[in-house]
Amino acid sequence: MNHTALIKNATQTLIDHVDELTALDQAIGDGDHGLNMKRGAMAIQARLDELAGQSLNDALRTMGMTCMSTIGGSSGPVFGTLMVTLAKELPATKPTPVDLAGALDAGIKALTRLGKAEVGQKTLLDVLAPVQQTLAAGGGEMIARVRACAIASADATARMDAIKGRASFLGERAFGHVDPGSRSMALIIDSIGDTLSHHP
Amino acid sequence: MKKLINDVDDVLAESLAGFAAAHADILRLAPERQFVARRELKRGKVALISGGGSGHEPLHAGFVGHGMLDAACPGQVFTSPTPDQMLGAAQAVGGGAGVLFIVKNYSGDMMNFQMAAEMLDQENETVIVNDDVAVENSTYTTGRRGVAGTLVVEKVVGAAAERGADLAALKALGDAVNKATASMGVALTSCTVPAAGSPTFQIGADEMELGVGIHGEPGRRRVKLGSADEIAAELTGAILKDLSLKPGAEVLLFVNGFGGTPLLEQYLMVNAAHKVLAGAGIKVVRHLTGSYVTSLEMAGCSITVSALDAAQFALWDAPVHTAALRWGM
């Protein structure tokens, strides 16, 4: 299959969930996350024809640069860097789960450097890291397990303090809320899995 | 949502177009709304560039002009601008003496400015403003947040740049002013991001959010609304604790309205803060009062205390001509 369906469905999922993402960010942030993701998703959808003619690697690079120049906030650099890194690390042939695990590992390292964040601090790294481990471990029912892992890992950020080890007043109040960026990441991964299972 | 708008998607474009028309003698708006730049550029001067999410007007574009910023990059409401905006601004206003970025310490701003700084082919430095004493850490920051004290940094460093200070000196000055400046705010009501359409947070009619950020994001704690004197004591007390000033210290007092609080109450808060500062033996030698670093229509205010030295006070007093601040010329 061509990657166009993957891109179209994943971006549409973000657009369809804009109100949920806004509500999550209003609870513990400044409320702009849903709209930022929607703006990036729409900018990518506007380039679907161009992306369809590109290789997966080039399409990831184009999407990454589009995120960086349209989203702003933290999400622009974060999702942009992730996609540009995946573009660089994935093989030109159809990627296997092990290829994906290797590229995601590089992506996680790039985001750790960029955001000076670590796993366990209520960021989308808390979705990417377990998904990467699932891919690296291999085994059957891979798509279903990756999707379940992404959704459950995003939900689990509700049980994390905003910054590990620092019980600021806000840290305590952020407890119980799902991290918006983690939810967006899970929605993207879940949509990719859904598209892949319908177009094997 | 009740706002003076046409289409929510056009809010930023139409507001910036009006701003540029109203202040055409001082500044110009770049194509694609990438940045607002000073009309009269000074060759050989270090270029000062700031920026951040919109919704804080007049910050930052209102401080573009003689004696302050050379360019400001407006992001979407409460969303940092993108790296290409800062690169475009640097290319337009860079005068060969280097570029100084002034960045509020929010994760998004930090990442986007950092990417721009890495891609820029001009000598550059970054001053990070983190004057908010309310919150040490949160998901959305990499440490203390940058709030109203940003104005003080931009004014003092801007005056020094106008006088010809070099990049290294300006970076050191910006860091020093930031260190000498502390702020804390209180919100009485929420604010509504136009594109979101609903209030950013829910707050009871008899409640206030102490230590609120300039995007209506949570602060220290939610409590019953207190008197102006009680609020001033809490805010100013936290600031003085952070700055650890000695009796006799001379300071600038900046009471900043968040957008929905009238000057009548802002001056009442100046009076209340005076009592707290006098009680601690602190002398207020300069004032700024008004809504300069806002959060849309949020009611509330922040108090900023800046313990400048004599040279820094002289730079504060130096002539400035921008849309929002003008004196001495």
User: For residue B54, what pLDDT band results from cuts at 50, 70 and 90?
Assistant: very high
Same domain, B133 and B257: no
Residue from B66, B94, B23 nearest B163 by CA: B66
ipTM: 0.72
A135 min Cα distance to partner chain B (Å): 27
Is residue B157 assigned to a domain? Answer: yes
Task: Say if pTM beats, i.e. exceeds, 0.95.
Answer: no
Q: Give start and end residues of each alpha helix (H) in chain B.
A: 11-22, 83-93, 107-119, 149-162, 167-179, 228-243, 263-279, 310-317
Residue A7: partners with Cβ closer than 8 Å, 6 or more residues away: A44, A48, A51, A59, A63
Domain with residue B271: its CATH number is 3.30.1180.20
DSSP 3-state assignment of B185? strand
Is residue B4 assigned to a domain? Answer: no
* CB contacts, 8 Å: A166 with chain B: 136-137
Q: Identify each DSSP E strand in A89-198 by its residue range.
A: none
Is residue B3 assigned to a domain? Answer: no
Q: Is the pLDDT of residue A168 over 80?
A: no
Q: Which among B77, B83, B114 is the nearest to A68, CB-wise?
A: B83
Same domain, B151 and B223: no
Q: What percent of chain B lies above the pLDDT cut of 90?
A: 86
Query: Would an 8 Å CB–CB cutoff place A71 in contact with chain B?
Result: yes
Distances (CA, A) of A42 to A116, A195, B215: 29, 19, 25
Is residue B5 assigned to a domain? Answer: no
- The CA-based dihedral angle spanning residues B10, B16, B20, B23, taken in that order and rounded to the nearest 10 degrees: 130
Domain of B94, in residue numbers: 11-180+317-327
Is residue B244 assigned to a domain? Answer: yes
Query: Would an 8 Å CB–CB cutoff place A165 in contact with chain B?
Result: no
Structure tokens belonging to residue B106: 């929010």
Q: Which among B75, B111, B200 is the nearest to A77, CB-wise?
A: B111
Q: Where is B38: in which H helix or E strand?
A: strand B36-38
A139 min Cα distance to partner chain B (Å): 35
Domain edges within chain A: 4-198
Sign of the CA dihedral running A185, A190, A195, A197? positive
* CB contacts, 8 Å: B77 with chain A: 32
Q: Which CATH superfamily is domain A4-198 in?
A: DhaL domain (1.25.40.340)
Residue A51: partners with Cβ closer than 8 Å, 6 or more residues away: A3, A4, A7, A44, A59, A62, A63
Overall number of domains in chain B: 2
Same domain, B275 and B155: no
Same domain, B106 and B240: no
Sign of the CA dihedral running B105, A111, A154, A94? positive
For the stretch B219-242, what's the b/e string if a residue is b when 16 or more beta carbons lie within 10 angstroms of its beta carbon? Answer: bbebeeeeeeeebbbbbbebbbeb
Query: Would an 8 Å CB–CB cutoff place A169 in contact with chain B?
Result: yes
Q: Is the pLDDT of residue B141 over 60?
A: no
Same domain, B173 and B213: no
* CB contacts, 8 Å: A179 with chain B: 139
pLDDT of B58-112, one tens digit each?
Answer: 999 999 999 999 999 999 999 999 999 999 999 999 989 999 999 999 888 999 9
pLDDT at A171: 57
Domain with residue B52: its CATH number is 3.40.50.10440
Is residue B37 assigned to a domain? Answer: yes
Same domain, B19 and B138: yes
Same domain, B255 and B176: no
Better-scored residue on pLDDT, A12 or A200: A12
Same domain, B231 and B141: no
pLDDT of B236-274, one tens digit each?
Answer: 999 999 999 999 999 999 999 999 999 999 999 999 999
User: For residue A9, what pLDDT band results from cuts at 50, 70 and 90?
Assistant: very high
